[in-house]
Amino acid sequence: MKNYRHTIIIMTLVTLAFLFFTPTTVTGSYSKTTNIIPIPVSVEHRDGFFVFRPSVRVIAEKDAETEASKLIDILAPAMGYRLKLASKARPKAKAIKLALDEQLLHLGDEGYILDVSAEQILIRAKQTAGLFYGIQSLLQLLPASIFSKTEVNDINWKVPCLKITDYPRFQWRSLLVDPARHFIPVNDVKKFLNGMAMLKFNRLQMHLTDNIGWRIEIKKYPNLTKLASNRDRSGGKGGFYTQEEIRELVRYAEKRHITIVPEIEMPFHAGAAINAYPYIGINPARVEGMPLDKQWAALGGLLAPRPETVGFMQDVLAEVIELFGSRFIHIGGDEANLKLWENDPEMQTQMKQLGCNDAHELHSWFIKQMDTFLTENNRRLLGWDEILQGGLAPGATVMSWRGIQGGITAANAGHDVVMAPTSHTYFDYYQSSPENEPLAIGGLIPLEKVYQYDPIPKAITPEKAIHVLGVQGQLWGEYISTRKHLEYMAYPRAIALAEIGWSKKQLKNYGNFVTRLRHHLKRLQAMGINYRQLD
Ligand code: ACM
C-alpha cells in the first residue's frame, strides 16, 4: 500500500514535470523564456541549437535582401566573418532564410515568425519591418557580445531551437529627444537610434525648436539658424541640422524602421523664432533696440497669430514636410500664456474680427490654420493636449502629457492619441532620490513605475481604445547636455517603455522583466551605450 502510494506520488510528479517542461507556448507563463525584450507574444521551445559557422548562407529573395544585408552587417564585427548572401539555399547547407509572405495578415505590418531548427533559421513577415524585428529577436537569442564592435573569440555562436510568433500591441512606440535645449550632434542621434531599434521602437520625436534655440535649417528664413541656433541652455555652443543632415538622419532612422517625427513649436516656446523675426511675436515694437537674447523673454516667447505669422509658420512647415517622411507633424501647442493675448490690444481686435470669445478660441483658430495646411498636404497634425482647449482641430491627434485626461477626452471624442503623461513617461525626471542622482528637472519616476504603466485608461470606452496609438517617453533636454547623460536618463527606463509599447499586457511581469533586463544591459554595454545601474 505504502509503495503503491509512493508510485502514485512519483507518477504525479513526473507528469507535472513533463507538463511544466514540455515545449509549450509561454503565453502567461514564465517557466522557460528567452531573454528577448520586449517579451514576444508566443515562444515555443524545442530541443537543440542552431550553430553559426562561416559557411552558413543568408538566403533572401529580392524583396528581403535589404533586411538580410542588415543582419549580415550586424553579425560581422563580433563574429569576425561575413555570412554570404544568396538567393537560393545549397542542399544540406545550413541557412538563415528571410522571406516576405503576404499571407501572414494576422501578423500586421510589424509582426514576424522566427523559426529556429538545428538546420535552418527562418524569419517570415508580411512586411520588411517584420523581418527587421525578427532579426532583432534573433540577435537577442545570441550572447550579448554579438553587439560588440570588435571580434569576440572563444565563444560558440548558437541560438536555441524555437518558434516565436510576435507582433506589437501598439503602432506608436516612441521616444522624444530635445536638441532645442541642448543641441545633439548628428552622430549622437544616430547612436541613440541604434539603441532604440533593438527595442523595436518605431518613432523618434525631435523637439527642434524652442525659446532657447532653433535647430533646423529653413531656406526661406535663414535668420532662424543664423541668429537663433547658436546658444543652448547652458550657455554653451549651440548648433543646428542642415537640411542635408536632416535627410541623412531621416534615412538612417528609416533603415531601422524608425520614423522621425519633427516638432516645430507654436504658438509658445517660439522665442528663438521671434528672436530672428520679431514681426511674428506679440508687440514687436516694444523690444526694438533690445539685445537679441532679451527680446524673446520680453515677448514671452509667444507668437502673435496674425495672418503673416500664420504664413510664416506654414512656410516653415512646407519645408519640414519636404524633409521628413513622417505622416504626423508635431506643432507643439503647449503651455502658452494666453494672458499675453488677452491683454494685448492688437490681439483683442484680432479676436473680435475672428469671432473668438476668448484667447483659448484664438489659440484653437491658430492651430486649425496649421491643421488645414497639413491636411491639404496629406499630413496629420499632432499636438500636446492644450490643443483641446477652445476646440480641437478636426484632423488633430493629441499627445497627452499633463496626465491622461487629455488622452481620454480626445479618444472618447474619436481622435487618435499618444499617451505621454508626466506621471510615468517623463524620463527627464529623477530615477531615484535626488541626492543619489545627477541634477534633473524634478519629479521622481523609478523604473518599476514606468513598467507598471498601462497606456489604455479604464475611462476610455472599449470601442474607443483603438484611438490610443501608443506611448512615448520624454527626454527633455534642459538638464541633459551630453550623449552619455542622455543615455543614462533613457536606460533602463526606455527598456520598460519598449515592453509596454510592444508586449501583450497579460505577459507583463516585473520580476521576469528585470531578469531579461540584466541581459539587455549587457547588450548596451557591448554597444558602448551608457545606462543607469540597477539598484
Ligand atoms: C511639455 O512637457 N510641455 C509638453
The one catalytic residue in 188, 335, 358, 437 is: 335
The pick from 264, 386, 476, 479 for probing ligand 1's pocket by mutation, whose C-beta has the most ligand atoms within 8 angstroms, reads 476
Alpha carbon separation from 27 to 43, 145, 204 (Å, rounded): 8, 28, 30
* 295 confidence band (pLDDT: 50, 70, 90): low
Distance of CA 253 to the CA centre of its chain: 11
Best residue among 268, 386, 398, 401 to mutate for probing ligand 1, ranked by most atoms within 8 Å of CB: 401
Given this model, what pLDDT does residue 481 score? 94
Same domain, 159 and 179: no
The whole-number average pLDDT for the span 509-520 is 98
Averaged pLDDT, 315-320? 98
Pair 275, 157 in one domain: no
Catalytic status, residue 376: no
- Sorting pLDDT into bands at 50, 70 and 90, what band is 476? very high
Count Cβ neighbours within 10 Å for each residue of 145-184 and write b for 16 or more, e otherwise.
bbbbeeebeeeebbbebbbbbbbbbbebbbbbbbbbbbbb
Question: Is 437 among the domain residues?
Answer: yes
In this predicted structure, what is the pLDDT of residue 300?
A: 73
Q: What integer pLDDT is reported at residue 17 of this predicted model?
A: 45
Gap between the Cα atoms of 17 and 473, Å rounded: 42
- Report yes or no on 14 lying in a domain: no
Q: What is the pLDDT, as a whole number, of residue 296?
A: 60
Query: Tell me: the pLDDT tens digits for 120-148?
Result: 999 999 999 999 999 999 999 999 999 99
Ligand 1, residue 474: give the atom nearest the CA: 2
Q: Are residues 145 and 254 in the same domain?
A: no
209 and 291 co-located in one domain:
yes
Closest CA to 68 of 85, 88, 54: 85
Burial of 321 (0-12, 13-18, 19+ CB in 10 A): middle
pLDDT of 211-225, one tens digit each?
989 999 999 999 999
Q: Are residues 76 and 219 in the same domain?
A: no
Atom of ligand 1 nearest to the CA of 476: 2
pLDDT at 443: 97
Does the pLDDT of residue 430 top 80, yes or no?
yes
Domain boundary (124, 149, 166) is at 166
Which amino acid is present at 105? L
Same domain, yes or no: 274 and 231 = yes
**How many helices (H) and strands (E) are present in the chain, helices listed first?**
18, 15
Q: Give the DSSP letter string of 175-220.
A: EEE-TTTS---HHHHHHHHHHHHTTT--EEEEE-B-SS-B-B--TT
Provide the pLDDT confidence category of residue 101 given band limits of 50, 70 and 90. Answer: very high
Q: Which residues have C-beta atoms less than 6 Å from ligand 1?
A: 334-335, 384, 401
Residue 21 has pLDDT above 50, yes or no: no
| Per-residue pLDDT band at 331 (split at 50, 70, 90) | very high
* Same domain for 92 and 215: no
Q: Is residue 368 predicted with pLDDT exceeding 60?
A: yes
pLDDT above 50: residue 16:
no
* pLDDT tens-place string over residues 52-66: 999 999 999 889 999
Tell me how far apart the alpha carbons of residues 16 and 369 are, in angstroms, rounded to a whole number.
Answer: 65
Radius of gyration of the CA atoms of the chain, in A: 26
pLDDT at 36 over 80: yes
Q: Is residue 25 part of a domain?
A: no
Distance 266 CA to ligand 1 centre (A): 12
Catalytic-labelled residue, pool 45, 269, 330, 415: 269
In tens, the pLDDT along 431-462 reads 999 999 999 999 999 999 999 999 999 999 99
Contacts 24+ apart (CB under 8 A), 357-360: 358/390, 359/390, 360/389, 360/390
**10 part of a folded domain:** no
What is the Å distance from ligand 1's center to 334 Cα?
A: 6
- Residue 436: give the domain boundaries: 172-527
Write down the pLDDT at residue 292: 63
- Per residue in 64-89, pLDDT (tens digit) is 999 999 999 999 999 999 999 998 88
**Where among 148, 166, 184 does a domain terminate?**
166
Nearest-atom index, ligand 1, CA of 401: 4
83/231 same-domain check: no
CB under 8 Å to 352, separation ≥6 — which residues? none
Residue after which a domain boundary falls, among 107, 133, 166:
166
Q: What is the domain count for the chain?
A: 2
Q: How far is the CA of 332 from the centre of ligand 1 (A)?
A: 8
* Ligand 1 atom 3: residue of nearest CA: 334
If we measure between CA atoms, which residue out of 384, 261, 392 comes closest to residue 327? 261
Whether 461 and 365 map to the same domain: the answer is yes
Please name the residue whose Cα sits nearest to atom 2 of ligand 1: 401
Mean pLDDT of 229-236: 70
Percent of the chain with pLDDT over 90: 84
- Cβ atoms 455, 419 nearer than 8 A: yes
Say if residue 78 is in the same domain as residue 213: no
Indicate which CATH number applies to the domain containing 194.
Answer: 3.20.20.80
**156 and 224 inside one domain:** no
- Mean predicted lDDT score pLDDT of the chain: 92
Ligand 1 centre from 294 Cα, in Å? 23
State the average pLDDT over residues 188-203: 98
Provide the CATH number for the domain around residue 151: 3.30.379.10
Told to judge if 210 belongs to the known catalytic residues of this protein, a careful annotator would answer yes
Task: State whether 252 and 267 are in the same domain.
Answer: yes
Q: Rounded to the nearest 10 degrees, how much is the dihedral formed by the CA atoms of 505, 511, 512, 516?
A: 110
What is the rounded CA–CA span in Å between residue 465 and residue 290? 51
The closest alpha carbon to 125, from 94, 161, 168, belongs to: 168
Considering the entire predicted model, what is its pTM?
0.92
Integer Cα distance of 175 and 206 in angstroms = 9
13 alpha carbon – ligand 1 mean position (Å)? 57
How many whole angstroms from 183 Cα to the centroid of ligand 1? Answer: 18
Q: What is the number of the ligand 1 atom nearest to the C-alpha of 269?
A: 3
Atom of ligand 1 nearest to the CA of 334: 3
Q: Is residue 436 part of a domain?
A: yes
Whether 288 is catalytic is no
Q: For residue 92, what pLDDT is reported?
A: 83
